[in-house]
Structure 1
Amino acid sequence: MVFDRQIRTILNPNQKRFLQDEMRYKERLERMQRESIASTGLYARTESIMDDPNLLDHHDSFYHTTKSLLVMFQIMGVMPIKRNPPIPGHERTTFRWSGVFAWAVFIYCVELAVVVFVGYDRVVNFINNSDKRFDEVIYNIIFLSILMPHFLLPVASWKNGPQVAIFKNMWTNYQWKYLKVTGTPIVFPNLFVLTWSFCVLSWVISVVVILPQYFLQEDFQLWHTFAYYHIIAMLNGFCSLWYVNCNAFGFASRALAKSLQETLESKTADKLIEYRHLWVDLSHMMQQLGRAYSKMYGIYCLVIFFTTIIATYGALSEIIDHGATYKEFGLFVIVLYCMSLLFIICNEAYFASKSVGLDFQTRLLNVNLTAVDDPIQKEVEMFLVAIEKNPPNMNLDGYANINRELLTSNISFMATYLVVLLQFKLSLLRQGIISAMRANATMARQHQ
């Protein structure tokens, strides 16, 4: 006891609270064990049995409905993961050296050559051009920054390939577990059409955003556009992938909640144990999504942040100096495009986390515990503890939490940087005006 008091004295308040929560949680489990030997199943997961790979493949609705997006990423060389045949003892999705990976390396090298040539040509043309106006500087910075994700693709995307394969396999196994517990398969009715539409729109938006730059900018040649099409399509594809996954999490959560309500009405405690396991697996999948694509979406957010600040500052600065033109309108289009991508990612992550976490907590807290027996009461308590201990957060492997707070914090940071940059701009204008007035006064005195 003396040793325990010594430990408690050196803990800060948050650590003490965490320790107390863990001790209460342990005491609750021990009390439940003492009350009933049968209650052991309330918190111990049974051992899993190897499932038939053909059944896993047949009921993998998520893969079959979103296959088009995966194939598009394979063709573009963005994520060379491979779907294996249904062989017992083998994972359905893997990331290792194969023909898909060889194609990704080949297409990456081809696109790298085009990106390097275009980037070099833009830099040389800008250096050799005697008319280095401010708007030309801004456009060159923006379109050079858009080329950066291609150079970082092997580190940001390929390096996390094993984690992506784990995430895909988790979805495959989860749908089969869901079927065994609830008796009904998970069917995503809208994802097939939605995913195909995203594949087409990713390239259409890429052409719509890049091709007009050929007409708006004098130094933007037609062959330059071919270095940007696949990069913008890749960014659109990752936004589509995030939307599809969040939409699938929300649909699976609502289906699980509906089936859980029916189980609560039937008052069977054994089934609640399996539902808790299903919910924990769903929460872990959400965490794995952020872990699998952490580097890619981290770079994604940085590119959006940098491009939005530069484009907004460039447009406002040119309007202050020369008034509004079509080029400034093009800059605002880039800002709107970047902020739309960021809004979709943050907003969908918020709704997915809310559907899996808060909505489930609300449903369980609304259960009338006085109308059910003790085993169900204990299982509801364990369910609430599981939700508290496994929050369904979209976290980029510790770099950032993806939710609406990320959107508002980015907007506040952008506003701060823009105010500082515009202050420098206005101070330079004042200095220019003062210098011109002094020069005019000097010339007037000389003429006198």
Structure 2
Amino acid sequence: MSLFFNTDDGLHLERVNATQMAKRGIFVNVKSANDDHRVEGGIDFLEPPPSFYEMENNLSISPMRRRDAFTKTIKKDIIFDCLQPIYNFLRAFGVFPLTKVKNGETEEFQFRFKSRAMAYSLVIFIFLMIYMSYTFIKRIEIVQNVEGRFEEAVIAYLFIVNLLPIFIVPIMWYEAKKVASILNEWSDFEKIYYKTTGKQLEIADDGVELPTKALVISILLPILSTASVVLTHYVIRIEETDIETTFVLQVIPYCYLDTLTYMVGAFWYISCEVLSHSARILAEDFQKALRHIGPAAMVASYRAMWLQLSKITRHTGTTTCYTFTFINLYLFFVITLSVYGLMSQISEGFGMKDIGLAITALCNVSLLFFICDKAHQAAFNVKTIFQKKILMVELSWMNSDAQVEINMFLRATEMNQANINLGGFFDVNRTLFKSLGGTMVTYLVVLLQFQISIPSEEPNATSYRARNISHYES
């Protein structure tokens, strides 16, 4: 074929043969044969080879723009861009020691024990363990010397329980290889989506792009969690008004641990949001594609994409199964102790320290709810919503091959699970939140009955207990 460009008159494109159409590419800086080289100062300079650009659409039809109409920059790692703000924050906290390795023309995530990221994570973890050992010893001394009502001992134990999220860091190290694997699976899904639909995967939540949403979360959530920890520890300090150096030193590790817990929950939240939006986009594209043409090959391509998406949905749970099993149990324990400490004060009236217990209970209940609710929505969008889209397809005008592919697609959605399961322990959905709530009520009833059965204490025991705990806090 011959192809000429005239910068004065515009763009002229001759007929393209079948072999060149398959390549989906054109040369955009072709010169005439008489202009192959130029002379400067008696020295010949060869012109650079022509540039090759990828066609913007599958039909090789140019849009309205001239030269830019034939080129398109393919954006990579769209899904990772949604997770990147929270990922970088957790990486700074020593949680995600992953590295990007170039594998041919592509880059993939890998976990390497002998890497700078892992060395950094080890340094952070060792420093925190030494620091928290001091706080843990102080809390043990307080628990050993607490005298008085049973609920006061429960509240004292709550501060020890709040140190448990430090184990999230080594658990995430153990699961870092699986996290790298699912990030690479998302990259593969983006490539399959682009090859099938001819467009990039664009994810937005009510007009707000998920990367922007993740960035806002990564800024506001640490600020709010730190503020809640400081306020909680300040008002529970037996109504002491002075913020001493010891108090500040003991609060710092709690700020780190609470922020870590909430940011891991935020990573789960954004991951489930990406699953939900990807499933809705895929369902809408499939429904629009069937309005125009209905070849069997096209239906098979969308079925392959859905199978890949359902696989990523299942892997979302198994990738971090130990981490979120631990977090769910931890949240259940903290909520139970906080609500019990709050309810046990009803007979004596609410005080300043009850504000701290209320904040702790509210924050942890919210986190547990979002973990369960977003996983439920993701599974619902990937399977149920997609099945409804397939059932609404009109089959009468399609050929027999396309109808067979549609039926196979529907059967594939029935046979392949798209739920988020934590490694076989339990499914993460709204039913989990309901069952944990019912179990929590049972434990609260038992604790309150135990409190009622305890004989009333001496009149001066409360003041003695307050002075005792105040002494060890300082």
Same structural fold, with TM-score higher than 0.5 when normalized by the shorter chain: yes
Matching residue within 178, 182, 185 for 1:167: 182
The unaligned stretches of length 5 or more in structure 1 are 1-54, 434-448
Deviations 1:366-407 (A, max 9, x none): 222223221111111111111112121010010110111001
Tell me which residue corresponds to 1:402: 428
Matching residue within 248, 255, 276 for 1:222: 248
Q: Amino acid of the residue matched to residue 112 of structure 2?
A: R
Look at both structures and tell me which one has the larger radius of gyration over its CA atoms. Answer: 2
Paired with 2:454 and 2:233, the residues of 1 have a C-alpha distance of 32
Tell me which residue corresponds to 2:200: 185
Tell me which residue corresponds to 1:276: 303
Paired with 1:397 and 1:162, the residues of 2 have a C-alpha distance of 15
User: Does residue 373 of structure 1 match 2:399?
Assistant: yes
8 Å CA contact 2:139–2:159 kept in 1: the answer is no
User: Does residue 357 of structure 1 match 2:357?
Assistant: no
Tell me which residue corresponds to 1:147: 163
Matching residue within 416, 426, 441 for 2:452: 426
8 Å CA contact 1:60–1:176 kept in 2: the answer is no
Instruction: Within 5 Å, give how 1:190-229 maps onto structure 2.
Output: 190-218=209-237, 221-229=247-255
SS in 2 for 1:368: coil
Q: Amino acid of the residue matched to residue 87 of structure 2?
A: L
> How far did 1:310 drift?
1.0
Q: Amino acid of the residue matched to residue 336 of structure 2?
A: I
In structure 2, the CA distance between the partners of 1:57 and 1:107, relative to structure 1 (3 Å rule), is farther
Deviations 1:160-200 (A, max 9, x none): 11111110000011101100001111123411111111111
The unaligned stretches of length 5 or more in structure 2 are 1-71, 239-245, 459-474
Q: Percent identity?
A: 27
8 Å CA contact 1:291–1:396 kept in 2: the answer is yes
**Mean Cα displacement is larger for which, 87-96 or 270-279?**
87-96
> How far did 1:425 drift?
2.0
8 Å CA contact 1:56–1:176 kept in 2: the answer is no
SS in 2 for 1:318: coil
8 Å CA contact 1:246–1:348 kept in 2: the answer is yes
Q: Amino acid of the residue matched to residue 376 of structure 2?
A: Y
> How far did 1:329 drift?
2.6
> How far did 1:157 drift?
1.1
Tell me which residue corresponds to 2:67: none
Identify, as 1 or 2, the structure richer in helix: 1
In structure 2, the CA distance between the partners of 1:169 and 1:258, relative to structure 1 (3 Å rule), is same
> How far did 1:91 drift?
5.6
Deviations 1:114-145 (A, max 9, x none): 1111111121244346x555454233211211
Paired with 1:329 and 1:65, the residues of 2 have a C-alpha distance of 35
Tell me which residue corresponds to 1:30: none
In structure 2, the CA distance between the partners of 1:152 and 1:244, relative to structure 1 (3 Å rule), is closer
Instruction: Within 5 Å, give how 1:225-236 maps onto structure 2.
Output: 225-236=251-262
> How far did 1:244 drift?
0.7
Deviations 1:24-65 (A, max 9, x none): xxxxxxxxxxxxxxxxxxxxxxxxxxxxxxx99942111123
Q: CA RMSD in A?
A: 2.2
User: Does residue 250 of structure 1 match 2:283?
Assistant: no
Paired with 1:132 and 1:82, the residues of 2 have a C-alpha distance of 53
Q: Amino acid of the residue matched to residue 108 of structure 2?
A: R
Matching residue within 298, 317, 338 for 2:364: 338
Instruction: Within 5 Å, give how 1:120-159 maps onto structure 2.
Output: 120-128=137-145, 131-154=147-170, 156-159=171-174
Tell me which residue corresponds to 1:100: 117
8 Å CA contact 1:214–1:222 kept in 2: the answer is no
Q: Amino acid of the residue matched to residue 141 of structure 2?
A: V
Paired with 1:152 and 1:171, the residues of 2 have a C-alpha distance of 24
Alignment length (residue pairs): 374
In structure 2, the CA distance between the partners of 1:133 and 1:422, relative to structure 1 (3 Å rule), is closer
